[in-house]
């Protein structure tokens, strides 16, 4: 059974840090492009970051560039999102997702991620940035 199980998240003050984890089972994460999306209340889901398996290249949305870092541990079959310098506007439900292609084609070609590229999704985890 294919699953992506997320952990991490929670409540943090502005300027703080959090790390999200996404553990895969039923498939080998290292052969997929893996991404993080987020959805704030009343807003559309947006792509945050993507990492390719073919060459390890990464994509970040402009809103998180320089603050968030995506990484993967293929031995643990786990994806991470390290979030630093968090802002209230980062508050959202965060989702990890797996794209069966091994490269973040849409993100690298268009400068934006498409949720339609991703076949498998985590359950989502709430991140709240508030004082």
pLDDT, one tens digit per residue, over 66-118 is: 999 999 998 999 999 999 999 999 999 999 999 999 889 899 889 899 999 99
If you average pLDDT over residues 9-14, what whole number do you get?
97
pLDDT, one tens digit per residue, over 32-75 is: 999 999 999 999 999 999 999 989 999 999 999 999 999 999 89
Phi, psi values for residue 105, rounded to 5°: -60, -50
Is the per-residue pLDDT at 29 higher than 90? Answer: no
CA 120 – CA 118 distance, rounded (Å): 6
Is the per-residue pLDDT at 22 higher than 90? Answer: yes
| 75 C-beta neighbours (distance < 10 Å), count | 7
Is the per-residue pLDDT at 4 higher than 90? Answer: yes
Q: pLDDT at position 113, please?
A: 94
CA 52 – CA 29 distance, rounded (Å): 10
Q: pLDDT at position 119, please?
A: 94
Residues in contact with 111: Cβ distance below 8 Å, sequence separation at least 6, in sequence order: none
Residues in contact with 81: Cβ distance below 8 Å, sequence separation at least 6, in sequence order: 19, 20, 22, 36, 48, 49, 68, 69, 70, 94, 96
CA 82 – CA 97 distance, rounded (Å): 16
């Amino acid at each position: 059974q294919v699953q992506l199980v997320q952990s991490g998240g929670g409540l943090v003050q502005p300027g703080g840090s959090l790390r999200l984890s996404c553990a895969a089972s039923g498939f080998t994460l290292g052969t997929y492009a893996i991404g993080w999306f987020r959805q704030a209340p009343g807003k559309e889901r947006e792509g945050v970051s993507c990492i390719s398996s073919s060459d390890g290249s990464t994509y970040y949305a402009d809103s998180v560039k320089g603050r968030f870092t995506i990484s993967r541990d293929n031995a643990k079959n786990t994806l991470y999102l390290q979030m630093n310098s968090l802002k209230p506007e980062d508050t959202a439900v965060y989702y990890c997702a797996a794209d069966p292609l091994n490269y973040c084609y849409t993100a690298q070609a268009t400068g934006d991620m498409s949720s339609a590229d991703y076949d498998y999704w985590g359950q989502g985890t709430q991140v709240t940035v508030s004082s």
